[in-house]
Amino acid sequence: MSKLYLVPTPIGNLEDITIRAIRILKEVNTILAEDTRKTGILLKHYNIETRMHSHHQFNEHKTLSQIINRLQTGEIMALVTDAGTPGISDPGYLLIRECLVNNIGVECLPGATAFVPALVNSGFPCDRFVFEGFLPVKKGRQTKLKQLSESELTMIFYESPHRLVKTLEQFAEVFGKERNASVSRELTKMFEETQRGSLEDIISYYKDKTIKGEIVIVVEAKDSKKSVLNIE
């Protein structure tokens, strides 16, 4: 019986993968990989010899029908991205939707995703939050920020290293420089770090630094009274 497995992969440390994920990757007929070179490193580490097929944001529309046809003939596939859970700011949504439309089984394994440890590690309330992923680079960015400035939920964003300071400065302008935030960089990797404090303080910390790695920004809700960063 055909099925598509969504398999989370480590966001840095190769040990952050479940025993079940390793088994599934060994048992499926094909692994759909965002970057076969990066996934190849993981497969080699765990002695997984399953064949790979390239599936990323630049070819997913072209290869979609071919993959669905193969699944309909009985193939069992696993979808992985470069790091984390497929579909979270990565390719996956189109294929998942098409599988469901065609009555092909879809099963998502639990596992690594960057925003969860960043959120928990921030010290902000985790009971209610909004995940925004990457904000629009230009069109609609300011409108979105103004909407979020009134949010009563902890906010989570992804950002690239070269845009980090500019984004933090925009946050300070719209949310207020005194608003508390947490910036997690290189999660689970050798040079992992988390900077907490006001937006003004974090901007000052990163202003003249060379910034590398994947970044998650967590910003406290408006009028938050529960954060460990501003206990009265």
* Number of C-beta neighbours around residue 203 at 10 A: 21
Task: Give the pLDDT score at 162.
Answer: 95
Q: Looking at domain 115-230, which of 3.40.50.1110, 3.50.50.60, 3.30.950.10, 3.40.50.720 is its CATH number?
A: 3.30.950.10
- Sort strands 193-198 and 180-185 into parallel, antiparallel or unpaired: antiparallel
Residue 94, H or E segment: helix 93-101
Residue 183 has phi, psi (to 5 degrees) of -115, 115
Q: Decide: 192 and 117 in contact? Cβ < 8 Å.
A: no
Closest CA to 227 of 135, 80, 124, 96: 124
Closest CA to 134 of 161, 112, 154, 109: 161
Sheet of 154-159, strands arranged across: 129-134, 154-159, 215-219, 180-185, 193-198
Give ranges for CATH 3.30.950.10 in the chain.
115-230
Task: Give the pLDDT score at 26.
Answer: 98
Residue 98, H or E segment: helix 93-101
Task: Give the pLDDT score at 59.
Answer: 84
Q: Which homologous superfamily does the CATH classification assign to the domain defined by 3-108? A: Tetrapyrrole methylase, N-terminal domain (3.40.1010.10)
Query: Residue-wise pLDDT tens for the chain (232 aa)?
Result: 899 999 999 999 999 999 999 999 999 999 999 999 999 999 999 999 999 999 988 888 888 999 999 999 999 999 999 999 999 988 899 999 999 999 999 999 999 999 999 999 999 999 999 999 999 988 899 999 999 999 999 999 999 999 999 999 999 999 999 999 999 999 999 999 999 999 999 999 999 999 999 999 999 999 875 444 543 3
Task: Tell me which DSSP letter residue 161 carries.
Answer: G
Three-class HEC string of 183-229: EEECCCCCCCEEEEEEHHHHHHHHCCCCCCCCEEEEECCCCCCCCHH
Handedness of CA 65, 67, 70, 72 (dihedral sign): negative
Give ranges for CATH 3.40.1010.10 in the chain.
3-108
Q: Decide: 8 and 113 in contact? Cβ < 8 Å.
A: yes
Task: Tell me which DSSP letter residue 68 carries.
Answer: H
Task: Give the pLDDT score at 226.
Answer: 46
Task: Give the pLDDT score at 225.
Answer: 57
Q: Which residue in the block uniquely carries the two structure tokens 């995940």?
A: 131
